[in-house]
Amino acid sequence: MAKGLLIVFTGNGKGKTTAALGMAMRAAGHGLKVCFIQFIKGGWHYGELDAVKWFEGLIDFHVMGKGFTWKSDNIEEDVLLAREAWDFACGIIASGVYHTVVLDEFTYLLHYQMLALDACLDFLNARPTGQHIVVTGRHAPERLLALADLVTDMQAIKHPLASGVKAQKGIEF
């Protein structure tokens, strides 16, 4: 029986966002619609921003909050933006249009308690039948892991940054 899964990619190792992108591409290959929502925008111009143009009509990509790194001095504004971003994601999920909805770096909004955890988990749990949700990010709250059907903890064994290799095109961004 087909079951809509709640999938979490967490942990300190590299590979969470790229795993979600891989899933999006896999679903798109079957003609299944994916909505990829990025809750944090880093400083780089990420390749995926342009790559998804090749998947027009199949992968819809949204970056929430402008230059949004959660390091702002204005916590109230951050919280407001976080709520707006989550409201947007709720609309996407509830629309039932998508086979898979990716909430990239969503764990940070929960970890920093910018959103009410209970309400978020209830909403994810009540998603349209058969819809898959992928959540990525470090510090996934235990209760999200408990609710999830699939959890992968990316373990950092080695990373080139530790030996001074800077972020590279096509690898980090």
Residues that bind Mg ion in the complex, under the rule CB under 5 A:
16-17
When CB distances are held under 5 to 8 angstroms depending on the partner's kind, the choice from ligand ATP, Mg ion, none that residue 14 binds is: ligand ATP
Measure the CA–CA gap between 106 and 117, rounded to whole angstroms.
Answer: 12
Catalytic position from the list 16, 36, 55, 106: 16
Residue ranges that bind ligand ATP, judged by CB under 6 A: 12-18, 136, 138, 154, 156, 159, 161, 167, 172
Catalytic position from the list 26, 44, 54, 69: 26
**Closest approach of Cβ 60 to ligand ATP, in Å?**
19
Nearest by Cα to 29 from 58, 61, 60: 58
Whether 70 is catalytic is: yes
Nearer CB in complex with ligand ATP: 75/167: 167
Catalytic position from the list 105, 107, 127, 136: 105
Nearest by Cα to 107 from 132, 131, 124: 124
**Closest approach of Cβ 2 to ligand ATP, in Å?**
27
When CB distances are held under 5 to 8 angstroms depending on the partner's kind, the choice from ligand ATP, Mg ion, none that residue 69 binds is: none
Which positions are catalytic? 12, 14, 16-18, 26, 68, 70, 105
